[in-house]
Amino acid sequence: MRIFFAGGGTGGHLYPGLAIARALVKARADATPFFIGAQRGVEKEVLPNTEFPFVLLDLHPLYRTRIWRSWKTVAGGIKSWRAIARLSRTDPARAIVGTGGYASVMALAYGAARGIPLVLQEQNSYPGIATRVFSRYARQIHLGFPEARKYLKPRADALVVDSGNPIQPPPQFRPDPAAARAEWGFPPNARVLLAFGGSQGAVAINEVIAAWLRKGIASDVHVIWATGKGSFESYSALESERVRVRDYIAPMESAYAAADLALARAGAMSTAELAAWGVPMILVPLPTAAADHQTTNARALEGAGAATVILQRDFTPERLEAEVQGIFGTPGRVERMSASVLARSRPRAADEIAGHILQLVERAR
- The CATH number given to 177-344 is 3.40.50.2000
Each residue's pLDDT tens digit, 202-223: 899 999 999 999 999 999 999 9
CATH for the 2-169+348-363 domain, from 3.20.20.70, 3.40.50.2000, 3.50.50.60, 3.40.50.720: 3.40.50.2000
Contacts by residues 230-236 (CB-CB < 8 Å, ≥ 24 positions apart): 230/202, 231/202, 231/203, 231/206, 234/206, 235/206, 235/209, 235/210
Residues 196/176, Cβ–Cβ less than 8 Å: no
Q: What are phi and psi of 172, to 5 degrees?
A: -55, -40
What per-residue confidence (pLDDT) applies to 65? 63
Strand, helix or coil for residue 125: coil
User: E strands along the chain, which residues?
Assistant: 2-6, 32-38, 54-57, 95-98, 118-122, 140-143, 159-161, 191-196, 221-226, 243-246, 261-264, 281-283, 307-309
pLDDT digits (tens, 9 = 90+) for 336-362: 999 999 999 999 999 999 999 999 999
Does the N-terminal peptide bond of residue 287 adopt cis geometry, omega within 30 degrees of 0?
A: no
Q: How far is CA 225 from the centre of its chain?
A: 20
Predicted confidence band of residue 184 (pLDDT cuts 50, 70, 90): very high
Q: What value does the mean pLDDT take over residues 133-144? A: 98
When pLDDT is cut at 50, 70 and 90, the band that residue 70 belongs to is low
Q: What does the alpha-carbon distance between residue 355 and residue 24 come to, in Å, rounded to a whole number?
A: 8
> Confidence class of residue 306 from pLDDT cuts 50, 70 and 90?
very high
> CA distances (Å), 103 to each of 73, 211, 310, 318, 359, in order?
11, 39, 31, 41, 26
Task: Report the alpha-carbon distance of residue 236 to residue 30 in Å, rounded.
Answer: 48
Q: For the chain, where do the domains classified as CATH 3.40.50.2000 start and end? A: 2-169+348-363, 177-344
pTM above 0.75, yes or no: yes
pLDDT of residue 41: 85
Does an H or E element contain 338, and which? helix 333-344
